[in-house]
Chains A and B, each alone.
Chain A
């Protein structure tokens, strides 16, 4: 049988039910009553003991949301979401304050172990030496893990060292209590409460998330990381993250997530806001592997995310790197507003879709300041019956003289039942801007696979190798240990896609 046919047949049989991380942890949880109303918003705010201004902010967003319509322009199809038939808040029932990891519910820690996501600082304490592929010892990397389990942070580590550096890294709910002036100053200034349907919903009911503030001139002494996980059936997840790098500051933030298998679709509508002042830099990396649904696409996560960075200061920089392999529906456009003169935005993306997954993702680079630059590298891989759309917007406003953008957008198809689409919007309102756009779509080449297999690799090993080669430009943007993890994830998510 010719390889193409074989590949296609195998793809038809994909068993996404084998989703590796599909299990449910049995932790008692406390839920808000089902449905969404002003009372739900008040319940959440009260649970978190929020000040009056925060409640008012939420209620304002809620009232706004009632007047909005769900967007329908993306190339995704899903059954109508019944917003009254979902829970908007759930927290594991446990002691509210934790001093160390020892106090974390062992079942939760066990869950992380199953996920193969070690709490990295344990490794570091144990003196584990990491090596790269060529056997060189890697410099010790320290990752502070603010583990988010369901909606509430259950463990925060490295707090002391960060504190010494003056870095604030804490759950959003704590920041509202402890640093209200910072939260008030920045929250909603990048993604306003009225921004879009999902962001507005998030503003009304957000449960928790991370807050980071790096003071002027400080280089954050470690990479900050949060693992998100959705664990409660019918629980909408509404994370809210806000990261501020003050003048000349630098921070690298890593977010990674997986979710257990569940029958009901799980709605996720996160909002991430980044702000950089003069000469500051934020590097935000995501490895996303939520449950994509079964072979018929049933039960997967709906992921509607609003991520936006504001390069407010001159010569500041924001860089988004994402590896997207999960979710039934992905609707996500991490963007940069290049407001400060000389500021720079970057977007590096790997989006893999398999089975029945639908991905509509991309970025917006909005050039407002002079001499601003941006770079977009997007690698889409479609297998099975999935659909993968890159949607990108690059604009330069009248005053954004000498704006520069380079976009490279490559798609790779595995089999002949999947789709890849590229939808670029480009708009320059001044004559000195230069935008370059490159795009390609290719099928995974049988000659390449045969070459690899002649050397002894199985069809799956060969595909993984070729795909990893295809995404290399983006992988190398990730911090080393995450690159290794992402590489594994790519192989896992393509399992069963070739014959």
Chain B
């Protein structure tokens, strides 16, 4: 069974139609890249998968392990292993990153009926994981994303992913804002998490990221639907020719 099946998904926001019959399947262990022009609905898709309110699903279904998740709250989806690395990570003033991580991890575990992490085990996990991703102890003490640089915010998203160990990770433009070195560290972090048990949707505008995180498949989105699917060479082709041909196709 596929991990994720998105079937003919139609989504509106404030009466504006954004997704137009999007169909997409993600296999277990697969890394799928999604590319597409600005405003084509990539972030919308990621929010809808994560269960954000205010999106009105007028048609279609989303199945995880063959079961619809449309009725599940965001935290229930998170507990089932859906993780979204936000294109624009949110600041949470006054809440230390460490506290945030711990609250999130234990909340998920509680929902799954697993035991909470003990303080020493949790500290060990965070120390090891953050060291690999080059996140300093000082950052862990600071409030979540407050005053973080663009790159630091993205790195913090990947740290959360590494701690929460999701089954389906959606990375929305995680590469934007990263310098060359950070891109490498973050990509290594992501690659370490690749496993037959974990699927990823990597949303990006740049082929460069896909040199580091090599996708199994590349989808092109335009005007709220998938208009082309191919191998990793598709990304190279897009880099050279742009999206012009697909905008016409979708119209």
Residues of A within 8 A of B (CB): 1-3, 6, 131, 133-135, 445-448, 450-459, 461, 465-466, 468-473
B78–A455 touching, CB < 8 Å: yes
Which of B75, B86, B100, B123 is in CB contact (< 8 Å) with A458?
A: B75
Q: How far is the CA of A472 from the CA of B99 in the complex (A)?
A: 12
B119–A455 touching, CB < 8 Å: no
Residues of chain B with a CB closer than 8 A to A457's CB: 75, 103-104, 107
Closest Cβ neighbor of B123 among chain A residues: A135
B92–A133 touching, CB < 8 Å: no
Which of A134, A446, A453 is in CB contact (< 8 Å) with B119?
A: A134
Which of B52, B77, B84, B98 is in CB contact (< 8 Å) with A134?
A: B98
Name the residue among B53, B73, B100 with the largest chain A CB count within 10 angstroms. Answer: B53
A446–B108 touching, CB < 8 Å: no
- Is B244's beta carbon under 8 Å from chain A? no
- Is B164's beta carbon under 8 Å from chain A? yes
Q: How far is the CA of A450 from the CA of B104 in the complex (A)?
A: 12
Name the residue among A131, A134, A453, A455 with the largest chain B CB count within 10 angstroms. Answer: A455
Closest Cβ neighbor of B80 among chain A residues: A456
Question: Which residues 86-144 of B have a CB within 8 angstroms of A?
Answer: 86, 89-95, 98-100, 102-105, 107-108, 111, 119-120, 123, 143
A458–B94 touching, CB < 8 Å: no
Q: How far is the CA of A74 from the CA of B127 in the complex (A)?
A: 51
B92–A469 touching, CB < 8 Å: yes
B94–A470 touching, CB < 8 Å: yes
Residues of chain B with a CB closer than 8 A to A447's CB: 90
Q: How far is the CA of A451 from the CA of B97 in the complex (A)?
A: 13
B92–A453 touching, CB < 8 Å: no
Q: How far is the CA of A304 from the CA of B102 in the complex (A)?
A: 40
Residues of chain A with a CB closer than 8 A to B123's CB: 134-135
- Is B40's beta carbon under 8 Å from chain A? no
Residues of chain A with a CB closer than 8 A to B105's CB: 456
- Is B79's beta carbon under 8 Å from chain A? yes
B206 vs chain A, min Cβ distance (A): 25
Residues of chain B with a CB closer than 8 A to A451's CB: 86, 89-90, 92
Q: How far is the CA of A455 from the CA of B160 in the complex (A)?
A: 8
B94–A456 touching, CB < 8 Å: no
Residues of chain A with a CB closer than 8 A to B120's CB: 135
Closest Cβ neighbor of B110 among chain A residues: A456
Residues of B within 8 A of A (CB): 50-54, 73-75, 77-79, 83-84, 86, 89-95, 98-100, 102-105, 107-108, 111, 119-120, 123, 143, 160, 164
Residues of chain A with a CB closer than 8 A to B104's CB: 452, 455-457
B93–A455 touching, CB < 8 Å: no
B75–A465 touching, CB < 8 Å: no
A456 and B75 in contact, given A135-B123, A461-B103 (Cβ under 8 angstroms): yes
Residues of chain B with a CB closer than 8 A to A135's CB: 119-120, 123
B53–A450 touching, CB < 8 Å: yes
Q: How far is the CA of A472 from the CA of B160 in the complex (A)?
A: 22
Q: How far is the CA of A470 from the CA of B108 in the complex (A)?
A: 23
A-B contact pairs, 5 of them (CB 8 A): A134-B119, A446-B53, A453-B75, A461-B107, A465-B92
Residues of chain A with a CB closer than 8 A to B83's CB: 454
A453–B95 touching, CB < 8 Å: no
Residues of chain A with a CB closer than 8 A to B50's CB: 450, 454
A178 vs chain B, min Cβ distance (A): 46
Closest Cβ neighbor of A4 among chain B residues: B53
Residues of chain B with a CB closer than 8 A to A472's CB: 94-95
Residues of chain A with a CB closer than 8 A to B102's CB: 133
A471 and B94 in contact, given A3-B53, A453-B73 (Cβ under 8 angstroms): yes
B92–A452 touching, CB < 8 Å: yes
Q: How far is the CA of A133 from the CA of B140 in the complex (A)?
A: 13
Which of B74, B78, B92 is in CB contact (< 8 Å) with A448?
A: B92
Closest Cβ neighbor of A464 among chain B residues: B103
Which of B78, B107, B143 is in CB contact (< 8 Å) with A469?
A: B143
A470–B53 touching, CB < 8 Å: no
Closest Cβ neighbor of B93 among chain A residues: A469
Residues of chain A with a CB closer than 8 A to B54's CB: 2-3, 446
A468–B107 touching, CB < 8 Å: no
Residues of chain B with a CB closer than 8 A to A455's CB: 78, 100, 104, 107-108, 160, 164
B95–A465 touching, CB < 8 Å: yes
B99–A454 touching, CB < 8 Å: no
A453 and B78 in contact, given A134-B123, A465-B103 (Cβ under 8 angstroms): yes
Q: How far is the CA of A373 from the CA of B76 in the complex (A)?
A: 50
Q: How far is the CA of A455 from the CA of B73 in the complex (A)?
A: 12
Q: How far is the CA of A6 from the CA of B111 in the complex (A)?
A: 21
B107–A458 touching, CB < 8 Å: yes
Closest Cβ neighbor of A446 among chain B residues: B53
Q: How far is the CA of A6 from the CA of B54 in the complex (A)?
A: 11
Residues of chain B with a CB closer than 8 A to A458's CB: 75, 107
The 10 closest A-B pairs by CB, nearest first: A469-B94, A456-B108, A455-B104, A472-B94, A469-B95, A451-B90, A453-B74, A135-B119, A456-B78, A3-B53
Q: How far is the CA of A131 from the CA of B120 in the complex (A)?
A: 12
B108 vs chain A, min Cβ distance (A): 3
A454–B103 touching, CB < 8 Å: no
Closest Cβ neighbor of A456 among chain B residues: B108
B75–A466 touching, CB < 8 Å: no
Closest Cβ neighbor of A5 among chain B residues: B53
Q: How far is the CA of A452 from the CA of B51 in the complex (A)?
A: 12
Q: How far is the CA of A447 from the CA of B100 in the complex (A)?
A: 15
